[in-house]
């Protein structure tokens, strides 16, 4: 009998990936084939070709990004901080091994350096090989790959970056420390005086506690803290949140210009992404 990778099961001749990290909700994707599978020192890495979402990156059984909707997350985690910063030159991406955020950051001519700090080389290799729609097969010379723990890397930096993008997986395993106050303090030190950081802060529907904790932790360290959302179909609940911590007040949305080619982001959407649903405003005690 052919051995199936962990997390995949065969139901009457049909292959399924079932994300089952939650007790009461299991999301399944019908799979055409396994394109890549490797157990790295950090996690179980797969790229699966799925019927509805095309090739998708799956870490420890959890979908991280897909060829169909990965652009929504990558555009929003990258273009919002890069358009709200007055003149981004040096960009640090922590995590982000699918290379989607780096691909979007490379659209800015003024950006001179993109340091991508990913703990797991296997994620970058798999994404470049099997997910070109997401990674863009990035060969831009401004992108420097550092295979290291983002926590250790950030600790060693001082006033070196204009924008830091924390494109982490969920707060378990190697990504857990990327949600801790000590890490946000390192990011504050690593940023120049008008710098800003952004991180993905989980689902407003299913991870309200993590979202609120992240927002409050960043708000305790950065003088300006803002939350925004986007809709990513393959993340539980669809609605997803991002939190910005900034050393300077962010410009008024009407002053934002956006002229990059993108599939989801446009000027209007970037200006309005800070408009929050009522339940989130109430939870975060926002006017």
Least gap, CB of 98 to ligand SAM (angstroms): 4
CB-wise, 151 or 271, nearer to ligand SAM? Answer: 151
**How many CA atoms does the CB half-sphere of 67 hold within 13 Å?**
18
CB-wise, 108 or 240, nearer to ligand SAM? Answer: 240
For residue 77, which of 198, 256, 196 has the smallest C-alpha distance? 198
Least gap, CB of 209 to ligand SAM (angstroms): 17
Least gap, CB of 151 to ligand SAM (angstroms): 5
CB-wise, 234 or 271, nearer to ligand SAM? Answer: 234
Least gap, CB of 10 to ligand SAM (angstroms): 26
Residues in CB range of 239: below 8 A, 6 or more apart: 203, 204, 205, 229, 231, 277
The residue assigned the tokens 């904790």 is 213
CB-wise, 8 or 154, nearer to ligand SAM? Answer: 154
Binding-site residue positions for spermidine? 98, 167-170
Is 167 marked active-site?
Answer: yes
**Residue ranges binding ligand SAM (CB under 6 A):** 42, 59, 64-65, 73, 94-98, 117-120, 123, 149-151, 167-169, 174-175, 177-178, 200
Indicate which residue of 60, 120, 162, 167 is catalytic.
167
Terminal CA-CA length for the chain: 60
Which residue of the chain is nearest ligand SAM when measured via CB? 95
Least gap, CB of 165 to ligand SAM (angstroms): 11
Residue 265 dihedral angles phi and psi, to the nearest 5°: -75, 140
Alpha carbons 7 and 62: distance in angstroms, whole number: 9
Binding-site residue positions? 43, 98, 118, 149-150, 167-170, 174
Alpha carbons 153 and 160: distance in angstroms, whole number: 12
Tokens of 86: 């007055």
Strands 90-95 and 44-50: unpaired
Paired with 38 in beta bridges are 45
For residue 5, which of 63, 43, 44 has the smallest C-alpha distance? 44
Alpha carbons 232 and 22: distance in angstroms, whole number: 18
CB-wise, 71 or 85, nearer to ligand SAM? Answer: 71
Supply the DSSP symbol for 179. Answer: G
Active site residues: 167
């Amino acid at each position: 009998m052919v051995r199936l990778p962990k997390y995949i099961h065969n139901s009457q001749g049909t292959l399924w990936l079932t994300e089952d990290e939650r007790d009461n909700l299991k999301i399944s994707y019908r799979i055409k084939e396994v394109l890549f599978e490797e157990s790295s020192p950090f996690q179980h890495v797969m790229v699966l070709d799925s019927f509805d979402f095309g090739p998708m990156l799956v870490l420890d059984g959890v979908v991280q990004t897909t060829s169909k909707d990965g652009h929504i997350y990558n555009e929003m985690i990258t273009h919002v901080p890069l358009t709200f910063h007055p003149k981004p030159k040096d960009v640090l991406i922590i995590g982000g091994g699918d290379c989607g955020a780096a691909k979007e950051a490379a659209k800015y001519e003024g950006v001179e350096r993109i340091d991508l700090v990913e703990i797991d080389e296997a994620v970058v290799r798999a994404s470049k090989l099997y997910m070109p729609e997401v990674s863009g097969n990035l060969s831009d010379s401004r992108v420097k790959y550092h295979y290291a723990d983002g926590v250790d890397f950030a600790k060693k930096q001082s006033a070196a970056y204009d924008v830091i993008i924390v494109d982490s997986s969920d707060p378990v395993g190697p990504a857990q420390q990327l949600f801790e106050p000590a890490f946000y303090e390192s990011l504050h030190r690593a940023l120049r005086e008008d710098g800003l950081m952004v991180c993905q802060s989980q689902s407003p529907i299913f991870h309200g506690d993590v979202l609120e904790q992240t927002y409050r932790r960043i708000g305790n360290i950065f003088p300006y803290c803002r939350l925004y959302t986007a809709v990513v179909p393959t993340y539980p609940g669809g609605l997803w949140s991002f939190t910005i911590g900034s050393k300077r007040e962010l410009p008024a949305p009407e002053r934002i210009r956006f002229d990059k080619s993108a599939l989801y982001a446009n000027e209007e959407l970037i200006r309005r992404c800070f408009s929050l649903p009522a339940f989130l405003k109430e939870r975060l005690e926002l006017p």
